[in-house]
Amino acid sequence: MTDPALALMQEHGLTPEEIDPGGGEVVRRRDVERVLRERGARPVPREGPSGDRVRRNQEAVAAVVTQSHGTVPAAHCLTDLSAQAFLDARLRRRDGGGGHLDLPEVMIKAMAVLRARFPRMYGPAGNGPAVDVGVTVDVGHGLYVPVVPDAQDLSVARIARMLAGFRVKALRGTFRQEELRHGTICLSLTPYRDVVATVPIIFPGQVCMISLGGLRERLVLDGRGQVVPRREVPFGLSYDHRVVNGRDAVLYQRAIERIVESCERLEELLQ
């Protein structure tokens, strides 16, 4: 069943048993609209200006959020990720002609390389070789969660190009259905400066979602008791408590932190 079909069913109070997919095994929005026409109900129009597309997209989001909150007992772990090693690496990359570097592609690659150590975090698909990372994209025309497939085999530069392409497709509304399939794990981005924390949902069928906020700077005490500035990013993890306990969640977050906060390990990741 596609997300648009599910959203329309929930809007009109239909159950899956009432929908007969026409010409296939997957229930699509047109199948729901056909049932509504037969009953004399008025389906939500398929076509229309971009505002209609945004509304339909939000209906699909609402369906997933409702299902997640109703079926997944989520727990959360929130911390701060030091951005200094990443910022230094970005500066070296720019000065060396390596192009622009952003934190989401680094995080996606770090998530991919840790699958072997933390397979439980990647759900039922965690025992397989592939890590398909979903990433939230919202440029003001609705929320999308396209997937970076086989992230373990991609360079950080290649992931960055894919994310740039996702933003263009989100702006134009040109995603293909296969690009929006559920991944192995998800990354939620809220890239606004001075965001304190974000608590993402967990997609049904997955085990956890990581969240990143925007870059911020605050004053902290260093090891000598001196006040120093610290540039950091809010770093959250929501996890299905039926599958993952708090200890494993914290160890997973710390493993990501050790990669992103270490100049040496970060450079290895960027190779």
pTM value is 0.79
| pLDDT recorded at residue 131 | 94
| pLDDT recorded at residue 8 | 72
Residue with tokens 């134009």: 172
Q: What are the structural domain ranges in the chain?
A: 3-65, 73-270
| pLDDT recorded at residue 126 | 64
Which residues, at least 6 apart from 156, have a Cβ–Cβ distance to it below 8 Å? 101, 105, 106, 109, 269, 270
Find the mean pLDDT for residues 45-56.
Answer: 62
Residue 42 has pLDDT above 70, yes or no: no
Residue 252 has pLDDT above 90, yes or no: yes
| pLDDT recorded at residue 49 | 47
Q: What is the pLDDT of residues 190-232, one digit of tens each?
A: 988 878 888 999 998 999 999 999 999 999 999 899 999 999 9
| pLDDT recorded at residue 61 | 87
> Are the CB atoms for 103 and 191 separated by under 8 Å?
no
**Residue type, position 232, single letter:** E
Mean per-residue pLDDT of the chain? 87
Give me the helix-helix angle, 103-113 and 263-270, nearest 10°: 90
Residue 45 has pLDDT above 70, yes or no: no
Residue 6 has pLDDT above 80, yes or no: no
| pLDDT recorded at residue 221 | 92
Who wins on pLDDT, 229 or 55?
229
pLDDT more than 90, % of the chain: 60
| pLDDT recorded at residue 141 | 80
| pLDDT recorded at residue 198 | 87
* pLDDT band, very low/low/confident/very high, at 53 (cuts 50, 70, 90): confident
Who wins on pLDDT, 36 or 46?
36
Report how far residue 211's alpha carbon sits from residue 190's, in angstroms, rounded to the nearest whole number: 7
Find the mean pLDDT for residues 21-47.
Answer: 67
| pLDDT recorded at residue 44 | 47
Report how far residue 261's alpha carbon sits from residue 267's, in angstroms, rounded to the nearest whole number: 11
Is domain 73-270 in CATH 3.30.559.10, yes or no?
yes
Residue 176 has pLDDT above 60, yes or no: yes
| CA within 13 Å, CB half, 101 | 28
* pLDDT band, very low/low/confident/very high, at 46 (cuts 50, 70, 90): very low
